[in-house]
Amino acid sequence: MSNEKQIVDNREFSIMINRLSHQLIENHLDFTETVLVGLQPRGVDFARKILNNLVEISGNNNIVLGSLDISFFRDDFGRRETIISPDKLDMNFSIENKRVVLIDDVLFTGRSIRAALDALTSFGRPKEVELMVLIDRRLKRHLPIQPDYVGKSVDSISSERVIVKWGNDGHNKIILLKK
Amino acid sequence: MNRLTVKNLLGIKQLTEQDINLIFKTADNFIKIINKPIKKVPTLRDITIANLFFENSTRTKLSFELAEKRLSSDIINFSSSTSSLQKGESLIDTVNNIIAMKVDMVVIRHPNAGASDFIAKNVNSVVINAGDGSHEHPTQALLDAYSIRNKLGLVENKNILIVGDVLHSRVALSNIFCLQKLGATVKVCGPSTLIPRHIHTLGVEHIADLKDGLEWCDVVNILRIQLERQNVKYIPTLREYSMYYGVNREILNSINKKIVIMHPGPINRGIEVSSDVVDSKQSIVLDQVENGVAIRMAVLYLLASKIQK
């Protein structure tokens, strides 16, 4: 289709996941004080890929991954046409004094991450929070929020959408959808 | 569908099966929320809710209040015993005065059936019925059905027996509507003076003998004898009632299966149910209370999106 442009193919995708995993290992070594937290819904898919890759590279089977739902912490309740359907919350571990890596697929306005920080701190007081995103749409921030680990930075206008497609058998791609 | 089909929660009668399942699904999320270290979410922080209790209540009022606070809404409380109603003010005047304070939602309990419908017709705020006379008590029915679902996995095709003062009970009527919509079979049990004469028109059978009823059911929901609503004698004595319709260990041991025991409260121990039964492992009375907060949070959350700002 003419209004679709592929910005990352499957090969680049694997390289990105690999690079991000190595960056995480460099900063967190054996992950004893670190927990990974994926944001529902799509950040969790990405976080799982990262976790699988980390296990493959390091052989460490003790890395903890949780999934965080931020529906009730968003700042646009009553301002949207549709009501947000909450997703599954799975945080069966303590984040008190832990180093938390928040993981999401696309960073755009930064509002989801703001809500995620609120949602996260309702589970306790982490020692520090880092942010990993697959795609950083860097020119469209509404809030002063920046990622620590970035798969790829993309310059796009508001009417465009960036979609991450998780394919079976590792056929993943990222496309830019123009309106 | 992720929106309710109704603007107000006046009764279970107006809800669809999808509405009920949406409320359950949302409550599942809130159960997780209220079991976190910090139990509050900021979702309804710009919403003001008035709790208007024209009739005494402990559990429902506390449960609503807690649900509202967990969602960060601002709340004002009203109870008729300390209000200007004593000075002769009418219901609509009282409510209009409260709404004029820019209240977005109203939770109302009233001794007269239809009071919440009346309010909903006359004001723009979202109205939630917290019990109107002997008519409906929708959030209680939702939390009862939700507790059954959580205990047995499914409400569909289950047999539920309601025992006791069905005639004066808003819990019974709302329960019948709710459980039937979810595909359960409901029967009632009790002395015929306390069973509404035309109950069969709701598709509900009356079982006169308690043991027959218990043998048939998977879940028994035991109601209180509402002495305050009875101005004529429906039963000779409480002692006689207790002998025929009190659920006790002896009768439970005489049947061949483990049934789930429920009670909406307040419990009169030793009358409709014995102490050891209430405190036994079969009883989910305290689960009902916890689920009540989550169900009310779900109802408030889903209805708050209907507020016209």
Residue B88 Cα distances to A107, B14, B85, B119, angstroms = 59, 33, 5, 18
Binned at pLDDT 50, 70 and 90, residue A150 comes out as very high
Q: What is the mean pLDDT of residues B159-173?
A: 95
Q: Which residues belong to CATH 3.40.50.1370 in chain B?
A: 12-136+289-304, 138-284
Backbone angles phi, psi at B39, to 5 degrees: -95, 5
What is the C-alpha to C-alpha distance for residues B229 and B277, in angstroms, rounded to an integer?
Answer: 26
Please state which CATH number belongs to domain B138-284. Answer: 3.40.50.1370
Please state which CATH number belongs to domain A13-76+87-154. Answer: 3.40.50.2020
Residues A32-84: tens digit of each pLDDT = 999 999 998 889 999 999 999 999 999 999 999 999 999 889 888 777 666 67
Residue B292 Cα distances to B31, B58, B208, B217, angstroms = 10, 13, 30, 23
Q: What angle do CA A110, A114, A117 make, to 5 degrees?
A: 135
3-state secondary structure of B118: helix
- Residues in A touching B305 (Cβ below 8 Å): 77-78, 83
Token digits of residue B70 = 């967990």
Instruction: Mention every residue, 6+ apart, whose C-beta is less than 8 A from residue B300.
Output: B44, B49, B67, B68, B71, B73, B105, B128
Quickly count: other Cβ atoms within 10 Å of residue B192's Cβ: 10
Q: Is residue A169 over pLDDT 70?
A: no
Nearest to B305 among A83, A86, A118 (CB): A83
Q: Which of A56-70, B55-69, B71-85, B160-174 has the lowest mean pLDDT?
A: B71-85
B12-136+289-304 folds as Rossmann fold (3.40.50)
Chain B interface includes A82 (CB < 8 A): yes
Yes or no, beta carbons of A78 and B304 under 8 Å apart: yes
What is the C-alpha to C-alpha distance for residues B218 and B159, in angstroms, rounded to an integer?
Answer: 5
Binned at pLDDT 50, 70 and 90, residue B100 comes out as confident
Q: Is residue A132 over pLDDT 90?
A: yes
Q: Is residue A2 over pLDDT 90?
A: no
> In chain B, count of helices (H) and strands (E)?
11, 9
- Residues in A touching B38 (Cβ below 8 Å): 121-123
Q: Is there a contact between A166 and A172 (Cβ–Cβ < 8 Å)?
A: yes
pLDDT at A13: 87
- Residues in B touching A69 (Cβ below 8 Å): 29
Residues B84-97: tens digit of each pLDDT = 666 677 888 888 88
Q: Which residue has the tokens 């701190």?
A: A121
Binned at pLDDT 50, 70 and 90, residue B236 comes out as confident
Task: Classify residue B4 by its DSSP letter.
Answer: -
Q: Which ipTM score applies to this complex?
A: 0.73
Q: What is the mean pLDDT of residues A131-140?
A: 90
Highest-confidence segment of B51-60, B142-151, B224-233, B298-307: B142-151
- Residues in B touching A124 (Cβ below 8 Å): 37
Q: Is there a contact between B249 and B276 (Cβ–Cβ < 8 Å)?
A: yes
**DSSP-derived pairing of the beta strands B260-262 and B219-222:** parallel
Query: A71: nearest CA in chain B?
Result: B43
Yes or no, beta carbons of A77 and B33 under 8 Å apart: no
pLDDT at B29: 92
Query: A79: nearest CA in chain B?
Result: B305
Q: Which of A85-99, A145-159, B86-100 has the lowest mean pLDDT?
A: B86-100
Return the residue in B1, B2, B22, B47 with the most chain A beta carbons within 10 A, the one to mutate for interface testing.
Answer: B2
Nearest to B29 among A89, A91, A122 (CB): A89
Yes or no, beta carbons of A83 and B38 under 8 Å apart: no
Residues B266-275: tens digit of each pLDDT = 899 999 999 9
